Structure 1
Amino acid sequence: MTTSRRQFLQFSLAAAALTACGTGMKATSGGGAPASKKHILVLGGTGFLGPAFVTAAQARGHTLTLFNRGKTRPELFPDVEKLHGDRDPLKGEGLKALEGRSFDAVLDTSGYYPRMVRASAELLAPHVGQYIFISSVSAYSKNDTPDADENAETATLADPTVETMGKNFENYGGLKRACEQATEKALGGRATVVRPGYIVGPEDRTDRYVYFPLRYDKGGEMLAPGSPEDPLQIIDVRDLAEWLVLLVERNTTGTFNAVGPEKPWTMGEMFAACKEVTGKDTKLTWVPGEFLLKNGEDGEGALPIWAPAFGAYAGMHRRSNARAVKAGLRFRSPVVTTRDALAWFQSLPEERRNQLRAGLPAEREAQLLSLWAQAQGNKQG
């Protein structure tokens, strides 16, 4: 299993700045009702996190402007100002639509390549009060240390000019880190860097988390990866979005791991949530991580979100979220997230429900369960 595959957290789906800028935070207003209404620019805004943020910000009375190519779900938010262009200043009109515009804050949900993030950050820096960049915990170079905080070692790029993720997304973490640096250089102390882990909940089109309650709901014997004690970190997209609005309202800057729940959670507790939500009593067969690795399952894709809880991945689902919690990040019950994610998926058209994008195919699950049973039989024999 390659580190890059494990690190790649698409749609963060979900989400680091220079270590020096991550030593603290600044807050200039309190909680409750917003001290003043903000005009917020969202770079993106129609994918997964973007719409959740727009909805949360509108509920708080803020004004939104979206900048994107107008290709992904353009029908969303008909009452919101939309500017069209390209993150790449060398393509089409590029960032021209943003020239001369001023905003109280910017939320960058669509930055993946430092050249493009640098272009938007430098253009907007003189005209915005705060720039929030959505990065990823993949910006860290290692996952082997439990409870590592925002000061942990970050990833680097062998070629700082690269503009491809790589065949196995090996460049993803380094690119996110370089984007953080571009943001910090342009905005200085007005930058906020948010590093989410796995962003889940309604509208998560990767199907990574919803696979588990869906499979549990089918009943029968189910392969449960690892052990009940294996740690699991997720964050509901709605919790992340609401917190991002709070960061804007308080003008909070710094670097934050946006991972949850607040207290450590486990695979066993996740399956307990599946049982509570579905009402089923599916038989779980726990298959150790060592056995799964030996048989070609590293948890990426076929066994989504789960990671081996040892060795190079001992800290994968054990990042510290203390700084984010101190800055106001709050979490709804994972049971609620599980319930709502499942309800959302079950509301989709039948054709889409029949095309699950993550999880073990039934044949592969049966094969692994058979192999595990044979291994156990051989031990007993």
Structure 2
Amino acid sequence: MKLSRRGLMQGAAALGSLWATGCASTKEGGGSTQAAPVSKKKILILGGTGFLGPALVEAAKPRGHTLTLFNRGKTRPGLFPEVEKLQGDRDGNLEALKGRQWDVVIDTSGYVPRVVRASAELLAPNVERYLFVSTISVYKDMDVHGIDESAAVATVEDEKTEDVSQHYGALKALSEKAAEAAMPGRTTVVRPGLIVGEGDPTDRFTYWPVRVARGGEVLAPGDGADPVQFIDVRDLASFILGLVEQRTVGTFNATGPASTLLMRELLEACRTANGGDARFTWVDADWLVEQQKVMPWSDMPIWIPRSGDSKGMGRVSTARALAHGLKCRPTVDTARDTLAWFKTLPPERQQKLRSGLAPERESAVLAAWHQRSSAGSPPASP
């Protein structure tokens, strides 16, 4: 089966971007360190009201940190009335940041190197550290298992381009370099995988607990043995704050779970979490793509077959992050909590998921699969 990594990455970009004292700094090389008592920090979050930002705020408040959010004031401006908010625009209006001091900046909203550079250079004299939230999509080759932070990153011929939809990974990689150039030796880069859970605007994970809870025959892609990776937004927020508190620099892949999770285990976790009478029909991956144009990642969220030029996306190494405190909650908990949150959304939002197959399309594909099977072609093994 021929799958285009560019198509997968463009989909990720389109959905994802529309996502002082204490102890001595940790060396980038990995390995756990003795944690000293953590001091409370003054933290500036660039963003803060989208998806990861609110999770950071919710995790930071009980730890006693003082928070400031900087954004345009357009996304949920009434969120967190008790938190200081500065209004401006990352692209050309940073006046509200001038002359202010913070211990650390957490950049959750940088996609273009020019914009990241402007923020980092302005803040460099008055902050201790800069933490940039990047992505595992920065890697040049995603066709190998166990990609770690030393792997080559994607490049773009015209480094002045700002076409995020076409060059998402390469621009994120250049943004990492821009932050480090502005604050050498004081920059932390976190490269998450797919971020999931409460507040996810994309439904790329939400599709599965919602669909499984609806019950009946569920179209399940492949043979169930393809590995999948994702990280609960709460676990990512906690990990980021841990790096901030311990004054850790370096680059970290941040996804989960801690051990290999197969597609069938994900769907079973959804069924365990939410009950119902869901029955999984595993459908051959090649047939899905070639005969029905049901595509991994978009039509079948999270799923990427373990063959092809993107097969490494389900087996990225997180050894360094785990050694520095990353903890991932059980998949069943993420599935249960995601569904509970989704049920609190307005009915019109619940009626149409933003990822995955519509019910009528799923039914049509299943019918075609059963017809093929009854004609003499055996179905894929579960």
Does the pair score TM above 0.5? yes
Aligned-partner Cα distance in 1 for 2:283–2:32: 46
- Report the 3-state secondary structure (helix = DSSP H, G, I; strand = E; otherwise coil) of the residue aligned with 2:366: helix
Does residue 131 of structure 2 align to residue 132 of structure 1?
yes
Aligned-partner Cα distance in 2 for 1:297–1:211: 15
| Superposed counterparts of 1:244-263, under 5 Å | 244-263=240-259
Does residue 305 of structure 2 align to residue 300 of structure 1?
no
CA shift for structure 1 position 25:
5.3
Residue-by-residue CA offset, 1:137-159 (whole Å, 9 max, x unaligned): 11111210011111112111121
Partner residue of 1:24 out of 29, 33, 51: 29
Taking only the aligned residue pairs, the percentage that are identical comes to: 51
More divergent stretch after superposition (352-361 vs 315-324): 352-361
Aligned-partner Cα distance in 2 for 1:12–1:262: 26
CA shift for structure 1 position 266:
1.1
**Cα 1:22–1:309, aligned 2, differ >3 Å: closer, same or farther?**
farther
Asked whether the equivalents of residues 13 and 197 of structure 1 are also in contact (C-alpha less than 8 Å), the reply is no
Residue-by-residue CA offset, 1:316-365 (whole Å, 9 max, x unaligned): 11000000000101111111000000000011121111121111011211
More divergent stretch after superposition (22-31 vs 68-77): 22-31
Asked whether the equivalents of residues 29 and 251 of structure 1 are also in contact (C-alpha less than 8 Å), the reply is no
Partner of 1:322: 319
Unpaired runs of 5+ residues, structure 2, are 20-25
- Report the 3-state secondary structure (helix = DSSP H, G, I; strand = E; otherwise coil) of the residue aligned with 1:189: coil
Partner of 2:65: 62
**Cα 1:145–1:276, aligned 2, differ >3 Å: closer, same or farther?**
same
Partner of 2:349: 352
Aligned-partner Cα distance in 1 for 2:82–2:99: 22
- Report the 3-state secondary structure (helix = DSSP H, G, I; strand = E; otherwise coil) of the residue aligned with 1:142: coil
Does residue 9 of structure 2 align to residue 7 of structure 1?
yes
| Superposed counterparts of 1:178-189, under 5 Å | 178-189=174-185
Partner of 1:224: 220
Aligned-partner Cα distance in 2 for 1:217–1:202: 17
Question: What's the Cα RMSD here?
Answer: 2.0
CA shift for structure 1 position 370:
2.2
Aligned-partner Cα distance in 2 for 1:144–1:28: 32
Unpaired runs of 5+ residues, structure 1, are 15-20
CA shift for structure 1 position 268:
0.9
Partner of 1:342: 339
TM-score, normalised by the number of residues in structure 1: 0.92
Partner of 2:122: 123
CA shift for structure 1 position 13:
9.2
| Superposed counterparts of 1:1-381, under 5 Å | 1-8=3-10, 9=12, 10-11=15-16, 14=19, 24=29, 30=35, 35-89=38-92, 94-165=93-164, 169-294=165-290, 295-380=292-377
Partner of 2:22: none
Aligned-partner Cα distance in 2 for 1:131–1:364: 45
Asked whether the equivalents of residues 43 and 110 of structure 1 are also in contact (C-alpha less than 8 Å), the reply is yes
- Report the 3-state secondary structure (helix = DSSP H, G, I; strand = E; otherwise coil) of the residue aligned with 1:255: strand
Aligned-partner Cα distance in 1 for 2:128–2:203: 36
Residue-by-residue CA offset, 1:74-126 (whole Å, 9 max, x unaligned): 1011111111111112xxxx111111111100000000110000000111111
CA shift for structure 1 position 12:
7.5
TM-score, normalised by the number of residues in structure 2: 0.91
Aligned-partner Cα distance in 2 for 1:209–1:47: 17
**Cα 1:205–1:231, aligned 2, differ >3 Å: closer, same or farther?**
same
**Cα 1:11–1:380, aligned 2, differ >3 Å: closer, same or farther?**
closer
Asked whether the equivalents of residues 22 and 254 of structure 1 are also in contact (C-alpha less than 8 Å), the reply is yes
Asked whether the equivalents of residues 5 and 300 of structure 1 are also in contact (C-alpha less than 8 Å), the reply is no
Partner of 1:18: none
